[in-house]
Amino acid sequence: MKKRASSQAGFSLVEVTIALGVVVFCLVTVLGLLAVGINSTHSSTIQTSATNILTAVAADLESTPNAIPPTAKNSAPVVSPVYGISLPASGTGTSATPTTIYVGEDGQVTTTAASALYRLSVWTTGSTTQQQETLVRLLITWPASAAYTSPQGFVENVVAINRTE
């Protein structure tokens, strides 16, 4: 019989344990960063959707026909075609309380906060004879069930609409 060599190549149990500890530490760090990345992606997706809805609402308001100056026969506000937002007739006042519209993630108007992701609050400032612009403050908050004063997130814009004929 042949005699075995006294020194065999290999790793000791201590070396293997240390290597496994380093690998586990790196994996836990990467998995922790993965969760942060997923949350950040979800948050930015919601904010991007809200910004797109805000842009669509502003375009809807800008495409609304001009209001006829109020007379004894006609002092009704005009309503935007897509979102149904009332714009005051030229020469009328402002809205102190916002109009609330619930919007789904797809940008479609819904009837209740339970079926919506966003709450759209709209304040209007009527134009005067000197100023022919209607200012509209748009505030989109989410989630829709939260009051607009305490949202999880929000996007806000002010749109100046030219009200001259």
Element (H, E) at 107: none
Element (H, E) at 56: helix 13-62
- The pLDDT, as a whole number, for residue 74 is 54
Does this model's pTM top 0.85? no
Task: Give dist(CA 70, CA 116) in Å, integer.
Answer: 35
- The pLDDT, as a whole number, for residue 160 is 86
Nearest to 133 by CA among 98, 87, 96, 99: 87
Per-residue pLDDT of the chain (165 residues; tens, 9 = 90+): 566 655 677 889 999 999 999 999 999 999 999 989 999 999 999 999 999 999 999 999 888 877 555 554 555 677 888 888 887 765 556 667 888 999 988 888 988 888 899 999 999 876 655 556 788 899 999 998 888 778 889 999 998 887 665
Q: Exposed, middle or buried by CB within 10 Å (0-12, 13-18, 19+), for 73? A: exposed
Domain boundaries, the chain: 36-162
**Buried b / exposed e along 46-72 (16+ C-beta atoms within 10 A):** beebbeebbeebbebbeebebbeebee
